[in-house]
Structure 1
Amino acid sequence: MKSKRLWLAAGAISSLMLTGCATQAITAEDAIPAPAERLYLYQSAPLSNHGKLTVTRDSGFAGSGCGVVISINGKPAAKLNQGETSSFTLPSGRVIIGASANRGICSTGLKEAKDTIIEDEEIRYRTGFDQSGSLGLFPTAY
């Protein structure tokens, strides 16, 4: 009987650890704005024909010690910690959005997505780590 309880307890702890390791999507409204010192590009509006890109990093334990660098057209635009968001004002047209965590145990490589900025519209992306430690970059309604 004691052995059965130990196995049940071990299973419950393992389940909690696995579910606690994946990040959780949060809305841009629920996220904390990244501080200005970690926003590098596209913070002021061009004179005309611009739209908005918002990138939000998931909350949760996985990758919590790793900053994620957001790049726009190959240039670092921001660094996000878990639960943070950043918005960028971009000229209309095609854009390549990237996310990477390339330090120490957080070496994930670069994830990229192609999208189109439309005048006076907003597109949203989220980034986060899965249970295996892989970083993702996804379009989102959040």
Structure 2
Amino acid sequence: MTRLVRAQIFRIAAAAAMTVGVAGCATTPTAQIDATPVGGARLYAFQSPSAEASAVIVMTRDSGTFGGGCRILVSLDGVKAASLASGETAKFFVPSGERILKAEKDGSGVCWPDPGNFNERETVISKGQTKQFRVAFDLNGRPDIQRSSP
């Protein structure tokens, strides 16, 4: 086999390995109906509806291997709300108005706390309205929150 043929085979094999590696790390959005509810011990706040807290925020964590060993801590307006594992969902009852959503590593499992590694999103929600969000790790390993459809 010539050096040129070996080099071409190597390039093809390397490209195939990279493709498989990236695809293996991908996460998949999880529909709320298919997600597992977060266990009560990892739900920290916003669990009771009231006349004031009649808007609903639903956060559903992606499924997949990328970041699967780490839980994501979600906070609403600076208050720790829940710790989501891969494929889990949680519902929060909040007052209407502007809300700040935050996602960060919670330091459990194979993850370590990383205080500067978080994302925040702003949303405005009306009384009686429900908004859904997707929670995942981006390809840089940073927890993220994105608006999603029901």
- Where has structure 1 moved over 6 Å in runs of 4 or more? none
2: CA distance, partners of 1:42 / 1:139: 19
Query: Pick from 95, 98, 123: which aligns with 1:115?
Result: 123
Structural RMSD (CA): 2.1
Question: Are the structure 2 counterparts of residues 93 and 33 from structure 1 closer, same or farther at C-alpha, using a change threshold of 3 Å?
Answer: same
SS at 1:138's partner residue? strand
Show the counterpart of 2:138.
130
- Are residues 45 and 67 of structure 1, via their aligned partners in 2, closer, same or farther at CA, if it must alter by over 3 Å? same
Do the aligned residues in 2 keep the contact of 1:50 with 1:117 (CA within 8 Å)?
no
TM-score by length of 2: 0.83
Specify the code of the residue in structure 1 equivalent to 2:122: K
Hey, what does 2:69 align to over in structure 1?
Answer: 65
What's the secondary structure of 1:55's corresponding residue? strand
Of structures 1 and 2, the one scoring higher in RCO (CA 8 A, sep 6+) is 1
CA distance in 2, matches of 1:36, 1:105: 23
Do the aligned partners of residues 49 and 69 (structure 1) sit closer, same or farther apart at CA in structure 2, a change above 3 Å counting?
Answer: closer
Query: What stretches of structure 2 of length at least 5 have no aligned partner?
Result: none
Q: How does 1:32-71 map to 2 (within 5 A)?
A: 32-48=36-52, 50-71=54-75
Report the counterpart of residue 87 of structure 1 in structure 2.
91
Map Cα deviations across residues 19-75 of structure 1 (whole Å, 9 max, x no partner).
221322121112111111100111111135611100111111111111100001101
Equivalent residues of 2:117, 2:142 under 8 A apart: no
Q: Give, as a single letter, the amino acid of the residue that structure 2 aligns with 1:52.
A: V
Q: List gaps (5 residues or longer) in structure 1.
A: none
- Percent identical across equivalent pairs? 31
Report the CA distance between 1:134 and its aligned residue. Answer: 2.5
> Secondary structure, in 3 states, of the residue corresponding to 2:32?
coil
Question: How many Å separate the matches in 2 of 1:8 and 1:32?
Answer: 40
Asked if the contact 2:105/2:112 (under 8 Å) is kept, the reply is no
Aligned to 1:8: 12
Alignment-mate amino acid for residue 82 of structure 1: S
Contact 2:118 2:142 in 1 (8 A): no
Partner SS for 1:19 = helix
